[in-house]
Amino acid sequence: AQSVTQPDIHITVSEGASLELRCNYSYGATPYLFWYVQSPGQGLQLLLKYFSGDTLVQGIKGFEAEFKRSQSSFNLRKPSVHWSDAAEYFCAVGAVPWGKLQFGAGTQVVVTP
């Protein structure tokens, strides 16, 4: 069965500092991987996705993620965070049939001045 692990429940980062959120997956076939962000009281917004090809994926809001098959990881990065990046971030793997996403537990990001 597929699973997604986000080891960090909570991360605090200073504004302007870099951010890296970890995601490890377990999936029997080629994974379809996603990062979503959720602001308080809101739904999920897609940041980026990986299906195949280039293992470094660029997303919206200056985020990027790198797929590493050997490590079963899909870590999210941003070089310089802004206060508006404070939110909860979810990694997800697309399971077959493809209408189902398996989510990690999420990482809460707090940005300090």
Partner 1 sequence: KAGVTQTPRYLIKTRGQQVTLSCSPISGHRSVSWYQQTPGQGLQFLFEYFSETQRNKGNFPGRFSGRQFSNSRSEMNVSTLELGDSALYLCASRLGTGQTDTQYFGPGTRLTVL
The contact set with partner 1 (CB under 8 A) reads 32, 34, 36, 41-46, 49, 51, 90, 92, 97-106
Closest CB 8 distance from partner 1, rounded Å:
14
> Smaller CB distance to partner 1: residue 6 or 18?
6
For tokens 């310089």, what's the residue? 80
Closest CB 7 distance from partner 1, rounded Å:
14
Closest CB 99 distance from partner 1, rounded Å:
3
- In Å, what is the CA distance from 50 to each residue of 27, 59, 67? 14, 10, 8
> Smaller CB distance to partner 1: residue 15 or 103?
103
Cα–Cα distance, 72 to 39 (Å, whole number)? 27
Closest CB 38 distance from partner 1, rounded Å:
9
> Smaller CB distance to partner 1: residue 24 or 103?
103
Question: Which of 37, 20, 17 has the alpha carbon at shortest distance from 82?
Answer: 17
> Smaller CB distance to partner 1: residue 15 or 102?
102
